[in-house]
A and B are shown apart, each in its own frame.
Chain A
Amino acid sequence: MTRDEITAGLAEILEEVAGVSPDDVAEEKSFTDDLDVDSLSMVEVVVAAEEKFGVKIPDNDVQNLKTVGDAVAYIEAQS
């Protein structure tokens, strides 16, 4: 799966869970500061991403996923 495909998949999840417009999703965007994803919604994003991409994202690693790009790289490394 390419980085663009992972980004697009995350954009779908972010729209479903938090109402983020797919046009706003880009690798440099911060989940909390740019996309207004709060902590509870971030939990939903992580669980949905695990299911969609077939990966495991332990809670200890979630705090390091500040931007969309961080998450894309994390998922890319596992898939």
Chain B
Amino acid sequence: MSRPDVVVTGLGATTPLGGDVASTWEAMLAGRSGVGPLTQEWAGQLPVRIAAQLAVEPTEKLDRVKLRRLDRSEAIALIAAHEAWADAGLADSPPDPERLAVSVGSGIGGAQTLLAQDDILEASGPRRVSPHTVPMLMPNGPAAWVGLELGAQAGVHSVASACATGAEAIALGLDMIRSGRADVVLAGGTEAVVHPLPIAGFASMRAMSTRNDDPERASRPWDKGRDGFVLGEGSGAVVLERADHAAARGARVYARLAGAALTSDGYDIVQPHPEGRGVIRAINMAIADAGIDRSDIVHVNAHATSTPVGDIAEIVALRSALGTHPVLTATKSMTGHLLGAAGALESIATILAIRDGVIPPTINLDDPDDALDLDVVAHKARHMDVPAALNNGFGFGGHNAVLVFARV
């Protein structure tokens, strides 16, 4: 039996740019920044006082009692998943539950719950710790809630590979459909750790931008003035579906998930390999998996987080693996870095670039790094035909995930 094609039939997101996919995409094409000052009282003592926080609070979409038992990362995973589900036309005619799976990961998990309940433990004692604590902080919580609400019985999985999580979760979904374990997979990522402890931790690594007086210009991938990433929060979800299953129900298809590859650097716990060895291998494998030629890849939504070392390591790898023809963008310049949700949100941007024939810009690229010798869509969106494109996602731990999307 030949390997089945897998297509994308639904998209959902809640991000620093908008409460759904349409508003997020519109803001991306307009080159808007979702980064702003942290006005919470706790932010005053931190070296980093900026972040890309959700444009629409979960309280706008979910009721108060339900939110009491959901970590913020779970709440936004549900919001994105339900949007994708309805967008795919599955809310009214759901698939066979035993052929439906979920693959939704988080980079850090329910840290806000863990830390808030620890405050209660210290202040009021163990009896006051919420009985919902464990299902709220467990890292499989977002996937489990999505699976529960959609009725998935073919398996619920939660990838954790730091900032590669969202892309790896989608790659796992592809594998599940190809291997015959599911016909439909709700896949994506979620992250909500705008809290002083994770921020202090990343800041202590000197990984974050401290451009506190100019938040909208702080995330500036490949720019000479870049000084680290900007933390973002949000969730992205895609509905992956076996192509003949989608065709049989007359589903609208956004794009084909043509291929994927996962590699690991085996080099350092946080630093990327200087020559991008693992990334190059992942790109080559993903293109081979997709069965297309490297010259067909005309666009890359890069991982590019606005860190001094990582941005250029990716350029070196892209040039080596693909040559100089692909047109790049780094949407993190607008959304900040959504950690475990980044690969899901950027996959959505890649898919919509293919559908609409327009690549969203990399904002703040005012003074390109001398080592940037590839074509980047800077400042303003660029209209061009995009038959096939890559989404890259890399994570602390040396995880590399590369996805290939193609027009149907």
Q: Are A44 and B64 in contact (CB under 8 A)?
A: no
Smallest CB gap from B65: residue in A: A19
Chain A, residues 16-54, CB within 8 Å of chain B (1/0): the string is 011100000000000000000000110110010000000
Q: Which residues of chain B have C-beta atoms less than 8 A from A47's C-beta?
A: 127-128
A-side interface residues, number (CB < 8 Å)? 8
Q: Are A43 and B68 in contact (CB under 8 A)?
A: no
User: Does B130 have its Cβ within 8 Å of any Cβ on chain A?
Assistant: yes
Chain B, residues 52-70, CB within 8 Å of chain A (1/0): the string is 0000000000011100110
Mark B residues whose CB is within 8 Å of A.
Answer: 63-65, 68-69, 127-128, 130-132
Q: Are B63 and A44 in contact (CB under 8 A)?
A: no
Q: Which residues of chain B have C-beta atoms less than 8 A from A18's C-beta?
A: 65
Q: Are A40 and B65 in contact (CB under 8 A)?
A: no
Q: Which residues of chain A have C-beta atoms less than 8 A from B127's C-beta?
A: 47
Q: Which residues of chain B have C-beta atoms less than 8 A from A17's C-beta?
A: 65, 68
Q: Which residues of chain A have C-beta atoms less than 8 A from B69's C-beta?
A: 40
Q: Which residues of chain A have C-beta atoms less than 8 A from B64's C-beta?
A: 19
CA distance A47 to B132 in the complex (A): 13
CA distance A45 to B287 in the complex (A): 56
Q: Are B132 and A40 in contact (CB under 8 A)?
A: yes
| Least distance between A44 CB and chain B CB atoms (Å) | 6
CA distance A47 to B69 in the complex (A): 16
Q: Which residues of chain A have C-beta atoms less than 8 A from B65's C-beta?
A: 17-19
Q: Are A19 and B131 in contact (CB under 8 A)?
A: no
| Least distance between B100 CB and chain A CB atoms (Å) | 25
CA distance A77 to B69 in the complex (A): 32
Q: A40-B132, A41-B131, A47-B127 are in contact. List 8 more A-B contacts (CB 8 A).
A: A17-B65, A18-B65, A19-B63, A19-B65, A40-B69, A40-B131, A44-B130, A44-B132
